[in-house]
Amino acid sequence: MFTPNLWRFRRFPDAAPEILRLQREMNRLFSNAEQSTPHDFPAVNIWEDAVSAFVTAELPGIDPEKLDIEVTGDILTLSGTSRVETLKEGETYLRQERVQGGFKRKIQLSFPVDAKNVEAHYEKGILSIKLPRLKESLPKKIKIN
In order, the DSSP letters of 69-131 are EEEETTEEEEEEEEPPP-PPTT---S---S--EEEEEEEE-SS-B-GGG-EEEEETTEEEEEE
Measure the CA–CA gap between 119 and 123, rounded to whole angstroms: 13
Handedness of CA 129, 136, 107, 45 (dihedral sign): positive
> CATH number of the domain at 38-136, please?
2.60.40.790
CB 55 within 8 A of CB 44: yes
Average pLDDT of the chain is: 82
Share of the chain above pLDDT 70, in %: 83
Q: Domain-by-domain residue ranges, the chain? A: 1-34, 38-136
Q: What is the pLDDT of residues 66-87, one digit of tens each?
A: 899 999 989 999 999 887 778 8
Q: What is the pLDDT of residues 33-71, one digit of tens each?
A: 555 454 467 889 999 998 899 999 998 888 889 899 999
Q: What is the pLDDT of residues 113-143, one digit of tens each?
A: 999 999 999 999 999 999 999 888 777 788 8
